[in-house]
Amino acid sequence: MTALQSKLPQTGTTIFTVMSALAQQVGAINLSQGFPDFNTSPQLIKLVNTAMRKGHNQYAPMAGVPILRERIAAKTEKLYDAAYDPDSEITITAGGTQAIFTAITAVVHPNDEVIIFEPAFDCYAPAIKLMGGIVKSLELEPPDYQIPWDMVKRLINNKTRMIILNSPHNPTATILHKQDIDELSAIVKNQDILILSDEVYEHLIYDGETHHSMARYPELKQRSFVVASFGKPFHATGWKVGYCMAPAHLMNEFRKVHQFLVFSVNAPVQYAIAEYLKDENTYLSLPGFFQEKRDYFRKGLEQTRFKLLSCSGSYFQSVTYDDIADEKDSDFALRLTKDFGVAVIPISAFYTKGTDYHVLRFCFAKRQETLDKAVERLLRV
Ligand SMILES: Cc1ncc(COP(=O)(O)O)c(C=O)c1O
């Protein structure tokens, strides 16, 4: 066999794949991976079908279908009072993951340092490492997972190339507040530091809170790649269509990578989403829709022995289980899946060092009967 040196020797199969496969194998209710168990809108499906029938089945333009980029620009202007030029500052991507990988690839050079906050979504660190960058991770702690900005300040040096943020946050369901924005702005001012802002849950924010997009703040916007996804808001994670927004000089570098990574993205879905976005209610209704699910699920969980952490955004609810067991979160997650029939994600999987605070993550983007069944089973734990 040919000798091969792995570029990612520590990387195995993601926890999401592992838990979803186990859930299927043992017939557990799958509250592990972040996807809905209800269908996307019939109207949106019809629009995809119409686009296909109209003949939109060949390569889309490299940067994305123009009308979709225009609608995204209009939406961003309206929501965040931020202007992006659809021609030079917005690119449609194959989901948020590709946008993240592309942005990192475009600007991170060997030995550049990139600050990430853990628990972190799993695609950030591998992309940095593949580019020869150095991951500087700061661990956040439950129950509130606040970013310790004084520690961020201490990590900054002339090799710091990028800071990666994610709000609303997967897995902790926390959000950035204005105070975080102020701290961040002060830290990056007059520094050559870029920001990669993963905002795929931008519309899943509750209790009337504001989504502090980097797009809102000129000091941050001019150095940010803002990443969004249509999979999360439109209950269509399998379509893998998202986008990235950045100032033209950054987007220019982004597109140099994008055009050789995927070249262009699924054309009929782009036309369909462009049409769907004409009705702003398609995304403005989402906080109410998911908040109702959050509240319903939390009410159910309150009857169990799990202790709820707060949930301000995303469609994840975390719990601790110290009154129930003292085993590792990964062991307990396996036991919950196999013995009680509810698949969950152990939060230690989101820490490079496997730091374990005995916290589990449930996804509540599910039908009411699925949540009922899950709570019924969790009551037995
Ligand atoms: C925080 C975060 N970023 C990015 C993504 C990836 O988005 P997409 O499915 O559009 O690639 C996810 C998906 O779960 C996520 O949770």
Query: Which atom of ligand 1 is nearest the CA belonging to 35?
Result: 14
| Below-50 pLDDT ranges, the chain | none
Q: What is the pLDDT of residue 12?
A: 82
Q: What is the pLDDT of residue 269?
A: 98
Q: What is the pLDDT of residue 17?
A: 87
Q: Percent of the chain at pLDDT above 90?
A: 96
Name which of 121, 120, 126, 108 is nearest 193 in CA terms.
Answer: 108
Q: What is the pLDDT of residue 304?
A: 98
Query: Which atom of ligand 1 is nearest the CA belonging to 100?
Result: 4
Best residue among 170, 226, 240 to mutate for probing ligand 1, ranked by most atoms within 8 Å of CB: 170
Question: Is any ligand 1 atom within 6 A of the Cβ of residue 229?
Answer: yes
Q: What is the pLDDT of residue 10?
A: 85
Q: What is the pLDDT of residue 180?
A: 98
Q: What is the pLDDT of residue 2?
A: 86
Question: Is any ligand 1 atom within 6 A of the Cβ of residue 119?
Answer: no
Average pLDDT score over the chain: 97
Q: Which two tokens mark 221?
A: 């916007």
263: left (phi over 0), alpha (psi -120 to 50) or beta: left
Question: Is any ligand 1 atom within 6 A of the Cβ of residue 200?
Answer: yes
Best residue among 15, 197, 229, 239 to mutate for probing ligand 1, ranked by most atoms within 8 Å of CB: 229
* Number of Cβ atoms within 10 Å of the Cβ of 13: 8
Q: What is the pLDDT of residue 69?
A: 98
Question: Is any ligand 1 atom within 6 A of the Cβ of residue 237?
Answer: yes
Show contacts of 189-192: CB within 8 Å, 24+ apart: 189/219, 191/156, 191/160, 192/161
pTM of the model: 0.97
